[in-house]
């Protein structure tokens, strides 16, 4: 899609060395367009995720352009310069470099997985180009003092607190939750969240009485289910891909064990899990956004998404990608400039309370000194075969339903 030959690279390198000022000036002199570089994996293992993310980036650009562009920039249009990072960290790094130096983008956004986001964010920071992280949750991204990196996504270590807050609320409503069990997949995603849950839960008054790991693709979870059941835990916190979630939930159901089950993130809050019938019914999930969120911007986004992509319901990470693109455009609009430094400064003072970019569940979208947005999560529950937002009350579509029913 955006190939670069070796000769181009050499030429480019030479030009950059000969005239280092050329490119940074180039960024502020594009007459009528704001160029935003979009790093997404369109091939390789994350191809389907990347294609989804791109749809959300494109929808944001289209909505801005269709409503008269950026007023602060005299009606300038948003132009997305899309780059396929091939699901590879090294390609993500080189493409970030290319978009900055050759395409002259004013800002970057992307790049799905943490492993691809981290190198690209470092390149952006070194080249003083704002980088808006869409969906990567690794804590360090906004903790290592990068001055040009911003993030709409939640930090991994916040999930445990949200889940504990939710359980506190359920306890107040009369549910008995004294002990929790962890069931996590043994890959990097599972283990980073596992570390967070394991450190947060005991301090919040939820001793961890069972701690099971499993391997993705295991055909049989009955031993894991037996251990969870015999531990006497009232709540099971799991981190699993949709594949394993369905097999685990079936194993729990076949032992007639119905704890408060909370699955993790977009990988779990997936219609295939909800569609697994009885075993998934009334189980919960913690996720950064859900399409039924009761918030005007969120409802408008779902509607616009369905109009642009008929029959499709957006997922949580797509809402983040949408907000990320929008926030960059709003910052350029506020700065009345396509200059990278001015956009960066505008991002620092940007406060979004309404409008299309306010679709995420936090009451306000802004970025602290580390570039981190005060992102929050919602809790969804499978009710009649569909994920429904049930917590927090401010954005919930309905209150949680009883576990049995």
Partner 1 sequence: MSATIFLQALLSGLTNGAIYALIAVGLTLVFGVMRVVNFAHGEFLMLAMYGGYLAWAHLGVDPVIAVALVVPVLLALGVGLFESLIRPAMKVPEINQMAVTLGLSLLLQYLALMAFKADNLLIVQDRSTASVWIGPVLLQMPHAIAAGAAAVLLLGLYLIMRKTDFGLIMRAVSQSHDGAALSGIDIGRTYRWAMGIGVGTLGVAGPLMASVLYVNPHIGTLFTLKAFVIVIVGGMGSFGGVLLGALLVGVAESVAGVLTTASVAAAVPFALLILVMLVRPEGLLPVGGGARA
Which stretches of the chain bind partner 1, using CB under 8 A? 48, 185-186, 212-215, 217-220, 222-224, 226-227, 230, 242-243, 246-247, 250-251, 253-255, 272, 275-279
Write the CA distances from 371 to 121, 163, 324, integer angstroms. Answer: 12, 24, 12
Pick 69 or 190: Cβ nearer partner 1:
190
CB of 187 to partner 1, least distance (A): 9
Pick 223 or 349: Cβ nearer partner 1:
223
Token pair of 124 as six digits: 């952006």
CB of 226 to partner 1, least distance (A): 4
Pick 30 or 218: Cβ nearer partner 1:
218
CB of 254 to partner 1, least distance (A): 4
Distance of CA 215 to the CA centre of its chain: 24
Closest of 106, 111, 102 to residue 79, by C-alpha = 106
Pick 69 or 279: Cβ nearer partner 1:
279
CB of 93 to partner 1, least distance (A): 26
Rounded to whole angstroms, the Cα distance separating 167 from 271 reads 24
Closest of 117, 109, 128 to residue 357, by C-alpha = 109
CB of 285 to partner 1, least distance (A): 16
Burial bucket for residue 219 (CB in 10 Å: 0-12, 13-18, 19+): exposed
Pick 285 or 356: Cβ nearer partner 1:
285
CB of 278 to partner 1, least distance (A): 6
Q: In which element (H, E) is residue 286 found?
A: strand 284-287
Rounded to whole angstroms, the Cα distance separating 150 from 132 reads 5
CB of 317 to partner 1, least distance (A): 15
Write the CA distances from 369 to 79, 122, 142, 372, integer angstroms. Answer: 28, 17, 9, 7
Pick 221 or 289: Cβ nearer partner 1:
221
In sequence order, what are the residues at sequence separation of 6 or more whose Cβ sits closer than 8 angstroms to the Cβ of residue 61? 36, 78, 79, 80, 325, 329
Rounded to whole angstroms, the Cα distance separating 69 from 58 reads 14
Pick 273 or 343: Cβ nearer partner 1:
273
CB of 274 to partner 1, least distance (A): 11
Rama region for 383: left / alpha / beta (φ>0; ψ in -120 to 50; rest) = beta
* Beta-bridge mates of residue 389: 380
Rounded to whole angstroms, the Cα distance separating 8 from 14 reads 10
Pick 30 or 222: Cβ nearer partner 1:
222
Count helices and strands in the chain by DSSP H and E runs: 14, 12
């Amino acid at each position: 899609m955006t190939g670069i030959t070796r000769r181009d690279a050499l030429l480019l390198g030479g030009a950059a060395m000969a005239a280092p000022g050329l490119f940074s000036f180039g960024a502020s002199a594009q007459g009528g367009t704001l160029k935003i570089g979009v790093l997404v994996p369109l091939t390789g293992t994350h191809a389907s995720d990347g294609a989804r993310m791109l749809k959300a980036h494109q929808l944001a650009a289209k909505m801005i352009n269709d409503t008269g562009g950026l007023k602060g920039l005299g009606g300038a249009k948003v132009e997305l310069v899309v780059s396929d990072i091939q699901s590879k960290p090294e390609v993500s790094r080189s493409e970030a470099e290319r978009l900055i130096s050759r395409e002259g983008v004013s800002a970057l956004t992307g790049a799905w997985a943490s492993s691809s986001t981290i190198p690209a964010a470092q390149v952006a920071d070194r080249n003083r180009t704002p980088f808006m992280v869409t969906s990567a949750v690794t804590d360090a991204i906004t903790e290592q003092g990068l001055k040009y990196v911003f993030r709409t996504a939640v930090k991994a270590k916040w999930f445990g607190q949200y889940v504990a807050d939710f359980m506190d609320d359920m306890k107040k409503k009369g549910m008995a939750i004294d002990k929790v069990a962890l069931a996590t997949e043994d890959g990097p995603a599972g283990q980073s969240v596992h570390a967070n849950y394991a450190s947060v839960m005991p301090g919040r008054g939820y001793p961890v009485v069972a701690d099971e790991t499993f391997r993705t693709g295991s055909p049989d979870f009955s031993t894991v289910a037996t251990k969870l059941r015999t531990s006497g835990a009232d709540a099971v916190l799991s981190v699993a891909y949709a594949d394993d979630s369905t097999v685990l939930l079936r194993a729990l159901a076949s032992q007639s064990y119905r704890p408060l089950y909370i699955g993790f993130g977009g990988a779990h809050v997936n219609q295939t899990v909800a569609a697994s019938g009885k075993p998934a019914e009334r189980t919960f999930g913690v996720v950064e956004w859900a399409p039924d969120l009761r918030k005007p911007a969120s409802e408008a986004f779902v509607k616009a998404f369905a109009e642009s992509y008929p029959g499709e319901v957006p997922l949580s990470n797509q809402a983040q990608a949408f907000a990320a693109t929008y926030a960059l455009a709003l910052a350029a609009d506020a700065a009345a400039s396509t200059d990278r430094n001015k956009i960066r400064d505008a991002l620092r003072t940007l406060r979004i309370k309404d409008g299309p970019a306010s679709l995420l569940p936090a009451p306000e979208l802004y970025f602290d000194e580390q570039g981190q947005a005060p992102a929050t999560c919602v809790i969804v529950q499978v009710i009649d075969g569909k994920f429904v937002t049930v917590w927090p009350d401010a954005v919930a579509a309905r209150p949680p339903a009883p576990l049995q029913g």
